[in-house]
Structure 1
Amino acid sequence: MSMRERLFFSILLIVVAYTLVPWVATRIFAIGVFRKGKASRQVALTFDDGPDPAYTPLLLDLLRKHEAKATFFVLGSKAERQAGLIERIHSEGHQIGIHNYSHTSNWLQLPWNVRRKQADRSADIIASITGTKPNFYRPPWGILNLFDLITLKSYKVVLWSVMPKDWRSRIGKTKLKARLMSGVREGAVVLLHDSGETFGADRDAPSHMLNALDEVLTSMTERGLKPVRVDELLESSAERRLGLFKRLLVNAWMTWERCFVKLFRLKAVNIGDPLLKLRVREYMGKQPILLSDGEQISKGDLVAEMHLDNYTLYKLGLDSRSTVQLATQLIRRTRTLMPEISKLLLTDPKYQHVKGLYGITMIHRGTRQLGFTVFDLPKGLFARATKTYLRFLLYVVHPHGKKRLKEKTDLLEPKIVAISKNELKLRYIA
């Protein structure tokens, strides 16, 4: 092989390594990038190439109409000229990400230029307008060079899972809507454009996108899909990515849950919402519990014992961003079931002699507003065993259970919650 041929193949090898290797790694295997989530009922709408003084305000109006949130990957050069739009995007609760300072392919730039002159420069411009520095990045055309995944480590690189090709006018509203309707699924990251000024795009293309998106957002609401920011989708998806050991543990626990329900003949209050299950049993506590309305439950009295459905609790935990949000959802769901519980205890012969509703739980904050009285468990072996059991249950059913057990451990104390049958009647039977 001649010197010229060696030089040619060396240059070819460098070009392939600099361009095609990262393309295969990111676009095919999603190495080092985020392109699709796993969160249930959530979809991330993303808009590139703006902000545009003609179309971005119309898009923001449309998103506000549908109470939708989105992520805007903006060009730093446009952000400089349209500071008011950047401020509006930020103030209306949308996420702002980086799409380079100019719409130039990373393949055509040196890696340190991509970082300093494109990403960092744009981030500084946006931070000067909003006070918040973006840390999410999408390269023009989704193209990265070999060094970007190293030099851009401080940014989360985002690609997409749905690309309806809305940058061309000839696609029209009808075809664009059909593509979006067929592609939008739970966890999708949708690539759209609120500007038609970049190379290869048609200037009026965003008008067709806006017309189609209006109808698509209506359909998404009907299908129970929520448009969210990319960071929200990423956070929810991270909670759903459980390790092998945790998945095996969850499956084993849910098998035990099904056996427990059958063994103790627990019955769901509402078949359509299995969050709460009941069984009639004798109260076995040595110390009587005095409820806020004067009713007293003593040893041997019948109570309707509550049990949270652990599979429902697990699903709620996957979709909750924090333990506080999980507790809030539980209180809301329980509140909707309280009238049915009250009716059940007052009309079903099986509950004729029960004195009230009773349970032991670590998720007791907020139960007082539902009418429950909250008591400490009497110190002793039963209290210690119950605490151990419920802490292990939290570890199993909560995606971040291990972390949660290390935080605010003093708040993870099981409590008795109880409400009398008479109080249920007063509060929940019209």
Structure 2
Amino acid sequence: METLLLWLFYISSLYAFIPGLITRLFGFRVFRRGLSDSRFALTFDDGPDPVYTPQLLDLLKRYDAKATFFVVGSNAEKNVDLIKRMHEEGHLIGIHNYIHKTNWLMRPATVKRHIQKTSGIIQAVTGVKSIYYRPPWGIVNLFDFAKRGDTQIVLWSAMFSDWRVRIGADKLTQRMMKKLRGGEVFLLHDCGSTLGANRGAPGEMLIALERVLMEADRKGLKSVRIDDLIHITETAKLEKKGGPAPVDGDKAARSGAKPASRSKKIVVSLWLLWEKVFHQLFHLQSTNEENPLLHFRIRPYHGEPVEMNGGVKLKSGDRIMELHFDNKRLYEFGSRSKSPVQLAIKMVRGMEKELPKLADHIANHPDLHDVKALYGVSMINKGPEQFGFTVTDLPKGWFASSSRLYLKFLLRVIHPEGGARLKQSAEHLVPKLIVMPIDHLVSHYMQDDSKRKMNGNPEVVPEEEPVLNASVSCP
């Protein structure tokens, strides 16, 4: 039962909750707001609708406003003439899945088929392949990030509950006027037939939208397509970067480490909060409660046999000590390191201190004497073999794929070079199993008169990367 709860928690958190939270709150890896004084974006979901979409297109044409339509593929199939008209009148057409169903309730392969099928419908009519994607209700899953190279996920900065008739045109107008300024991405709906919507709601939206477009003209504001607002925003960011560098008054700057941005700090805080919940739920322990580097739990191994150092074989049912690096310490190491080499040195020294503590813990607890191996999942390059670990591939499947995405996110957060390192070494960033016989741990690392038994080996620093192990449960 505990294993089942573990997998449910892990899958729901990693697959859905955490990606949804950081994208909706902090715009991580999505576009939701632009940088412009005079341009904003009108976006419309769920259509095309044979009744309301033609009225909307007429309205946009009267005010020379451009918009982005995130269409539902099944609706697009039924209203090909409206897709053609959107394109001919200069609007951008994006993807909103083939049917209006949340990505949390669909497998990654199903979401991919929805996107490809809808994109194919749009391309067949317009001759243009759509790369702009808004998942229904703005809910993303972990694998939506993996499609970043093929699609641009677009959310919004302002929504108004315009799918409800009871809001009415007057209240809707007030809400929209408050958000009418450059850079905003409005979320509106030109179809009221989806689950939870009212069929006549788009009629109220059209009344309010005309008032807003009149006010936008008066203020000198212009509605543009999402791709245009993205281009304007990227240009503004480049111009901003070309300005004078900030005054070096920060401790991190003086030390050579790059200070974290506010958004990154918020993402890290949420990530560490989730880790605390994980630790409490699955009763992770540590040999150093005040400032731990490693956490662990004892559980049976479930998987294929693995041959470790000394010819010892780990088999299904054997008890293991499952390791998890403390992500707060990892982040501290990364944020205080000037380079990958410094990070590697800190990780090596940290492991040299922790392994003897684990050996002593095993030796001093008779109920752990039947534990057969240390066990973990790591984004590995070079290094763990020097400590006595055997490195082996994860079995292909859901766990390996999700672990790779999570550990890439971890590397992006803690590594001094962040995303740049991912681009440089993407082919090497593959999660591995690392295992060590407990007998090897005790014989090589157990304290003896306060001195570790290291076989006389000098300290060796990994040539490139440290071990990156995280709160990812092993199969």
TM-score normalised by length of structure 2: 0.51
Structure 2 matches for 1:104-123, cutoff 5 A?
104-115=101-112, 117-123=113-119
> Residue 133 of structure 1: CA displacement?
1.0
Partner of 2:198: 202
Q: Is the 8 A contact 1:37 1:189 kept in 2?
A: yes
Matches within 5 A, 1:140-155: 140-155=136-151
In 2, are the aligned partners of 1:162 and 1:184 still within 8 Å (CA)? Answer: no
Partner amino acid for 1:42? R
Match in the other structure for 2:66: 69
Of 154, 157, 161, which residue of structure 2 is paired with 1:158?
A: 154
Q: How does 1:188-199 map onto structure 2 within 5 Å?
A: 188-199=184-195
Q: Residues 27-426 of structure 1: matches in 2 within 5 Å?
A: 27-115=24-112, 117-242=113-238, 246-248=242-244
Distance 1:60 1:172 in 2: 21
Quote the Cα distance in structure 1 between the aligned partners of 2:4 and 2:60: 54
Deviation at 1:53, TM superposition (A): 0.1
Deviation at 1:18, TM superposition (A): 0.9
Equivalent-residue separation in structure 2 for 1:191 and 1:128 (angstroms): 26
Structure of higher CA gyration radius? 1
Deviation, 1:244, is 6.7
Q: Which amino acid aligns with 1:157?
A: I
Measured in 2, the distance between the counterparts of 1:97 and 1:129 equals 13
Bigger shift: residues 239-248 or 156-165: 239-248
Amino acid at match of 2:230: L
* Change beyond 3 A, Cα 1:77–1:16: same
Moved over 6 A (4+): none
State the shift of 1:6 in Å: 2.9
Is the 2:35–2:232 Cα contact (8 Å) retained in structure 1? yes
The letter of the residue matching 1:91 is E
Q: Report deviation, 1:242.
A: 2.8
Aligned residues: 247
* Unaligned runs of at least 5 residues, structure 1: 252-430
Contact 1:161/1:188 (<8 A) preserved: yes
Distance 1:143 1:249 in 2: 37
Percent of aligned pairs with the same amino acid: 48
Pairwise CA distance, 1:153: 2.8
Report if the CA contact (8 A) 2:71-2:95 is conserved.
yes
Query: Is the CA contact 1:112–1:151 (under 8 Å) kept in the aligned structure 2?
Result: no
Q: Does 1:26 align with 2:19?
A: no
Q: Deviations over 1:305-342 (max 9, x none)?
A: xxxxxxxxxxxxxxxxxxxxxxxxxxxxxxxxxxxxxx
The 1:197–1:7 alpha-carbon spacing in structure 2 relative to 1, beyond 3 Å, is same
Amino acid at match of 1:75: V
Deviations 1:38-85 (A, max 9, x none): 022001000000000000000000001111000000011111110000
Report the counterpart of residue 16 of structure 1 in structure 2: 13
Residues 245, 120 of structure 1: CA spacing in aligned structure 2 closer, same or farther, 3 A cutoff? closer
Shift of 1:20: 0.7
Q: In structure 1, how many angstroms separate the alpha carbons of the residues matched to 2:114 and 2:159?
A: 24
Q: Secondary structure at the match of 2:84?
A: helix
Q: CA deviation at 1:152?
A: 4.8
Q: CA deviation at 1:10?
A: 2.4
Distance 1:250 1:107 in 2: 42
Deviation for aligned residue 1:7: 1.8
Kindly indicate whether the alpha-carbon contact (under 8 Å) linking 1:60 and 1:89 is maintained by their aligned counterparts in 2. Answer: yes
1:5 deviation in Å? 2.3
How many Å separate the matches in 2 of 1:197 and 1:155? 26
* 1:257 match: none
CA contact (8 A) 1:69 1:227 kept: yes
Structure 2: stretches of 5+ with no match in the other structure: 248-475
Structure 1 residue 151: Cα displacement:
3.0
1:190–1:244 Cα change, 3 Å: closer
Residue 239 (structure 1) shift:
0.4
Cα distance in 2 for partners of 1:74, 1:125 equals 10
Q: Give, as a single letter, the amino acid of the residue that structure 1 aligns with 2:99.
A: S
Counterpart secondary structure, 1:195: coil
SS in 2 for 1:247: coil
The 3 A distance-change label for structure 1 pair 110 and 224 is same
TM-score, normalised relative to structure 1: 0.56
* Contact 2:48 2:75 survives alignment (8 Å): yes
State the SS of the aligned residue for 2:158: coil
Cα distance in structure 2, aligned partners of 1:119 and 1:191:
20
Letter in 1 for 2:231: E
Kindly provide the amino acid, as one letter, of the partner of residue 11 in structure 2.
Answer: I
Kindly tell me: are residues 120 and 245 of structure 1, through their superposed partners in 2, closer, same or farther at Cα, counting changes over 3 Å? Answer: closer
Q: Is the 8 A contact 2:37 2:181 kept in 1?
A: no
Of 3, 6, 14, the match for 2:3: 6
Looking at structure 1, the residues matched to 171 and 138 of structure 2 have their Cα atoms a distance apart, in angstroms, of 23
Q: CA separation in 1, counterparts of 2:154 and 2:240?
A: 26
Q: Provide the aligned C-alpha RMSD in A.
A: 1.6
**Is contact 1:162-1:190 (8 Å) kept?**
yes
- Tell me if the contact between 1:71 and 1:229 (Cα under 8 Å) persists in the aligned partners: yes
Aligned-partner SS, 2:142: coil
1:7 to 1:57, Cα distance in 2 relative to 1, 3 A = same
- Report how far residue 183 of structure 1 moved: 1.3
The residue type equivalent to 1:176 in the other structure is L
Contact 1:74 1:98 in 2 (8 A): yes
